[in-house]
């Protein structure tokens, strides 16, 4: 342990003021006003909210695996798995259940509590869904939480996944309703909202967030957060991704995001969705430890853990455990 921080844990005392009632009526302008505050005020508000709902030392740890890579018919401009982009990534078939469970067991041994499986589909075919259900059952049997992201679902498919014991379904809104059409044309924002409603109605926890750094305005970032925070129930898990600029995608040359601006988006997610886990998601490989520390201070309390996301690199497990330890935080 680099600094012995975990040898001297601070006692956690929740703030005396009770957690505030959750709001579901955030407007884009209200979120913009939040984000435009002086940084010290924004961070104070985010910290106060975070501490009223969570132990600020805890970082939830999820590991990702791409169970079916590439060859995707959708045209998401950020994504290396779209078959429509130049020199797309090689497409693979759906992995075998046993191979997936071997990876899940390794992730558990490395310290992950949730195993997230992603497939590059527009929506799952029925026979593939059965295979994924067997994976979900196997992950559960290992004593881990399960999450899958398979594209659009109808109500019956969501119900089938719930029956198999699925804990979380990841389906992102990605950006604001206004900016969305410049990023994806093959599926609508409303279709995404419909899938989220099916997942919610099936009784599965919702994991839903978006991406920062695709050329959107601050108003679009606020619009994404306001839309998420105005869902009938807040997503239990809110992944905030910093765009990973992948060669041969239309966003390969997007402008880099100012890390402070990124922290402001994390803080806005924390303040508007106080009881949700906010995940500092893709993009950590290119971030300094100090930027990540600011994200945790702004209320991020979950990460993707393991050297690969779906197709792109993530920090090594060693680097992450050292950072968590240096900050006196702890994986959960």
* Residues in contact with ligand SF4 by the rule CB under 6 A: 72, 74, 76, 79, 81-82, 120, 151
Q: Are strands 210-212 and 205-207 parallel, antiparallel or unpaired?
A: unpaired
Choose among ligand SAM, ligand DTB, ligand SF4, none what residue 243 binds, the Cβ cut-off being 5 to 8 Å by kind: ligand SAM
Phi/psi at 214 (5° precision): -95, 10
| Burial class of residue 311 (count of CB atoms within 10 Å of its CB; 0-12, 13-18, 19+) | middle
| Window 262-321: residues binding ligand DTB (CB under 6 A) | 281-282, 309-312
To the query of whether residue 133 is one of the catalytic residues in this protein, the response is no
Residue 82 touches which member of ligand SF4, ligand DTB, ligand SAM, none, C-beta under 5-8 Å by kind: ligand SF4
* 103: partner contacted, choices ligand SAM, ligand SF4, ligand DTB, none (Cβ within 5-8 A by kind): none
Q: From the list ligand SAM, ligand DTB, ligand SF4, none, which binds 311 (C-beta under 5 to 8 Å, kind-based)?
A: ligand DTB
- How far does CA 305 lie from the centroid of its chain? 12
Stretch that binds ligand DTB, among 26-34, 107-115, 221-229, 238-246 (CB under 6 A): 238-246
Q: Does 209 contact ligand DTB by CB under 6 A?
A: yes
Q: Report the residue number, 151 or 250, with the smaller CB distance to ligand SF4.
A: 151
Q: Is 208 a catalytic residue?
A: no
Distance CA 206, CA 280 (A): 16
> What DSSP designation does 283 have?
T
Q: Per CB under 6 A, which of residues 98..117 are in contact with ligand DTB?
A: none
User: Which of the following is catalytic: 160, 187, 279, 284?
Assistant: 279
For residue 310, the minimal CB distance to ligand SAM (Å) is 5
- Considering the complex, state which of residue 239 and residue 250 has its C-beta at the smaller distance from ligand DTB: 239
Selected catalytic residue, list 57, 76, 245, 295: 76
Residue 174 bridge partners (DSSP)? 210
279 assigned to active site: yes
Known catalytic residue: 295?
no
Q: Catalytic annotation on 147?
A: yes
Site residues, ligand SAM (CB under 6 A): 78-79, 118, 120-121, 149, 151, 171-172, 174, 211, 241, 243-244, 246, 282, 310
**What is the spatial distance between Cα 20 and Cα 185, in angstroms, rounded to a whole number?**
38
What is the rounded distance in angstroms from the CA atom of residue 255 to the CA atom of residue 261? 13
The DSSP code for 210 is E
Residue 170 binds ligand DTB (CB under 6 A): yes
Give phi and psi for 93, each to the nearest 5. Answer: -85, 165
Report how far residue 195's alpha carbon sits from residue 190's, in angstroms, rounded to the nearest whole number. Answer: 9
Find the shortest distance in angstroms from Cβ 141 to ligand SF4.
Answer: 27
Nearer to ligand DTB, 251 or 309 (CB): 309
Tokens of 94: 């759906």
Active-site residue (options: 207, 264, 270, 295): 207
Which of ligand SF4, ligand DTB, ligand SAM, none is residue 107 near (CB under 5 to 8 Å by kind)? none
Q: Which residues contact 328 (CB under 8 A, 6 or more apart)?
A: 5, 6, 8, 9, 10, 57
Q: How far apart are CA 67 and CA 290, in angstroms?
A: 32
Nearest distance from C-beta of residue 227 to ligand DTB, angstroms: 15
Catalytic one among 116, 133, 208, 295? Answer: 116
The answer to whether 201 and 155 have CB atoms below 8 angstroms apart is yes
The Cα 120–Cα 67 span in angstroms is 8
Which string of b and e fits 195-228 if b means at least 16 CB within 10 Å? Answer: bbebbbebebbbbbbbbbbbebeebbbbbbbbbb
Give the Cα separation of 36 and 57 in Å (integer).
27
Residues that bind ligand DTB (CB under 6 A): 64, 80, 118, 149, 170, 172, 209, 239, 241, 244, 281-282, 309-312
As annotated, the active-site residues are 72, 76, 79, 116, 147, 207, 279
């Amino acid at each position: 342990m680099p600094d012995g921080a975990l040898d001297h844990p601070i006692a956690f005392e929740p703030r005396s003021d009770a957690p505030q009632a959750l709001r579901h009526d955030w407007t884009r302008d209200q979120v913009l006003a939040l984000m435009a505050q002086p940084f010290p005020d924004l961070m104070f508000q985010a910290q106060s909210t975070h501490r009223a709902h969570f132990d600020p030392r805890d970082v939830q740890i999820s590991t990702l695996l791409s169970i079916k890579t590439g060859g995707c018919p959708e045209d998401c401009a950020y994504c290396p798995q779209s078959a429509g982009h130049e020199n797309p990534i090689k497409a693979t078939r759906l992995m075998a259940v046993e191979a997936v469970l071997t990876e899940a067991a390794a992730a558990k041994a490395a310290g992950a509590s949730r195993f997230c499986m992603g497939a590059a589909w527009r929506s799952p075919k029925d026979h593939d869904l059965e295979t994924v259900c067997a994976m979900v059952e196997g992950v559960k049997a290992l004593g881990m939480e399960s999450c899958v992201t398979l594209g659009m679902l109808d109500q019956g498919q969501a119900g089938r996944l719930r029956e198999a014991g699925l804990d979380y379904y990841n389906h992102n809104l990605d950006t604001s309703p206004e900016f969305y059409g410049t990023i994806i044309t093959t599926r609508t924002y409303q279709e995404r909202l419909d899938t989220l409603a099916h997942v919610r109605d099936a009784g599965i926890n919702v994991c839903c967030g978006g991406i920062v750094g695709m050329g959107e305005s601050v108003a679009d970032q606020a619009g994404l957060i306001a839309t998420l925070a105005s869902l009938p129930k807040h997503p239990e898990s809110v992944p905030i991704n910093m765009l990973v600029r992948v060669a041969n995608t239309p966003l390969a040359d997007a402008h880099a995001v100012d890390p402070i601006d990124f922290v402001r988006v994390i803080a806005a997610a924390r303040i508007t969705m106080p009881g949700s886990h906010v995940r500092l998601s893709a993009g950590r490989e290119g971030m300094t430890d100090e930027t990540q520390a600011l994200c945790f201070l702004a209320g991020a309390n979950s990460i993707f853990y393991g050297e690969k996301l779906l197709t792109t690199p993530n920090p090594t497990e060693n680097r992450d455990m050292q950072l968590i330890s240096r900050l006196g935080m702890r994986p959960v």
